[in-house]
Amino acid sequence: MTMFYEQLLEVSDSSHVKTEEKMSRHTTFRAGGPAAYYVSPADARELGEVIRLCRREEVPYCILGNGSNLLVGDGGFDGVVISMTAGFSGCRVDSDRCEITAGAGASLSRVGKAALEAGLTGFEFAAGIPGTVGGAVVMNAGAYGSETKDIMESVRVMTMEGEEKVLSLPELELGYRTSCIPANHYIVLEARYRLKPGDRDEIKAYMDDLAGRRKSRQPLEFPSAGSTFKRPAGNFAGKLIEEAGLAGYRVGGAEVSGKHCGFVINRDHATASDIMTLCQDVKRRVKEHSGVELEMEVKTLGRF
C-alpha cells in the first residue's frame, strides 16, 4: 500500500476508493487503460479533501462525469480520477419558480425526465445528450439549435483551494463548446436551470421526436463519444469527413461511422490507440482535401 493511498483513505471512505480501475468501464468509448486511483466522493466536503490532498502531494487528478466526452490512453492515467456520479446526482424541482437544480453527476436524461414530469419546457434538446450536468456546463453542450446557456441560471463550483462559489450566467462565459470552468480549474458541483411552463404531452412529443431523429441519424448501437470533432465555422465536421472519402474508414477496431461521419465508433474491441490514430488520420486527410483544420471535441487523458 502506497503512502498516497493511505492518505486517500484518511480523507475518503475506503468504499469510495479503487486502485488500478479500468477506465473502459467508465467511458462511453469503452476503451482505455486503468486509473491509478478512482475516487467517488460522497459530498462536497470529501471532494474538497481529496482535491487538497492531490494538490499538496502534487498528484494529478481528473474530474469525471459519465465519460461521454473522454478518451483515456491504453497506458492508463497515473493519477486520481474523481467520479461525480455517486455523490452529486441529486435533482430538485421548484415548479413555482420554474427551476431545476441538479448535481454535476446527474445525467441529462434524468433532468429531462424531471422537467417533463413537472411540465417544464426548455430542457428537451439536452435530454438525449449522453452526458451529465457537469460536463454539459463545462462544454456548453448543445443540440438541435439550442445550448446549455439558453436555460442556465447559475452554477455552484469548487475552486482549486476547495472553496465553493456561485457563478452567474455572464460569469460562466459560455460560448461554443467553451466556458470559464477549465481555465479557472473549477469543479462543477451543481447547476440551476430556469425553464418555462409547458404542456406535458407537447414536451414528451418533442422529446420523442428528437430521440427518433438521433436514433435514425446516429450510430447509437456502437460505443462512441458522440460528435468527435467540433463544428468548423460555416461547415460541418461530418460533411467534411464524408467528402474526404472517409465514411467507413477503419483503424483496428475503430471506425468512422458510415451512418454519421461525425462519429468515430468502437466497432470491434478498439483500443484507445486505434481511436486516436484514426482521429489523427481523419484530421490529416480532411486538411488535405478541404484545407479545414478539424479540432477534436473529445478530451484525452493519460498515456497513449
| Cell numbers for 289 | 482535401
Tens of pLDDT along 90-99?
A: 999 999 999 9
**CATH number, domain containing residue 157:** 3.30.465.10
Same-domain pairing of 256 and 228: yes
Tell me what pLDDT residue 120 has: 98
223 domain residue, yes or no: yes
Same-domain pairing of 99 and 171: yes
Task: State mean pLDDT over 161-176.
Answer: 95
214 domain residue, yes or no: no
74 domain residue, yes or no: yes
Confidence check: pLDDT of 1 > 60: no
Same-domain pairing of 104 and 183: yes
177 is catalytic: yes
213 domain residue, yes or no: no
Please name the residue that has the C-alpha cell 445528450: 129
176 domain residue, yes or no: yes
Q: Report the C-alpha gap between 1 and 247 in whole angstroms.
A: 48
Same-domain pairing of 54 and 151: no
Between 200-217 and 108-118, two packed helices, what is the crossing angle to 10 degrees?
A: 150
Same-domain pairing of 121 and 193: yes
Tell me what pLDDT residue 123 has: 98
Confidence check: pLDDT of 185 > 70: yes
Burial per residue of 102-137, b for 16 or more beta-carbon CB atoms within 10 angstroms, e otherwise:
bbbbbbbbbbbebbbebbbbbbbbbbbbbbbbbbbb
Short-list 51, 64, 20, 68, CA closest to 228: 68
Same-domain pairing of 111 and 162: yes
**CATH number, domain containing residue 263:** 3.90.78.10
What percent of the chain stands above pLDDT 90?
A: 97
Same-domain pairing of 132 and 190: yes
Query: CA 200 → CA 94, 96, 124, 235, distances in Å?
Result: 16, 16, 11, 35
Tell me what pLDDT residue 119 has: 98
Tens of pLDDT along 28-65?
A: 999 999 999 999 999 999 999 999 999 999 999 999 99
Confidence check: pLDDT of 200 > 90: yes
Tell me what pLDDT residue 189 has: 98
208 domain residue, yes or no: no
Which of 57, 83, 109 represents a domain boundary (last residue)?
83
Tens of pLDDT along 234-267?
A: 999 999 999 999 999 999 999 999 999 999 999 9
Select which of 177, 194, 200, 250 is catalytic: 177
Tell me what pLDDT residue 292 has: 97
Same-domain pairing of 100 and 194: yes
**CATH number, domain containing residue 37:** 3.30.43.10
Same-domain pairing of 53 and 109: no
Which of 64, 83, 102 represents a domain boundary (last residue)?
83
Same-domain pairing of 183 and 96: yes
Same-domain pairing of 179 and 248: no
209 domain residue, yes or no: no
Count of CB atoms situated within 10 Å of the CB of 84 = 25
Domain total of the chain: 3
Residue 188 banded pLDDT, cuts 50, 70, 90: very high
Confidence check: pLDDT of 2 > 90: no
Task: State mean pLDDT over 102-120.
Answer: 98
Same-domain pairing of 105 and 171: yes
User: By three-state DSSP, how is residue 284 classified?
Assistant: helix
Select which of 110, 227, 231, 267 is catalytic: 227
Task: State mean pLDDT over 109-132.
Answer: 96
**Which range of residues forms the domain containing residue 63?**
3-83
Which of 38, 59, 83 represents a domain boundary (last residue)?
83
Confidence check: pLDDT of 268 > 70: yes
175 domain residue, yes or no: yes
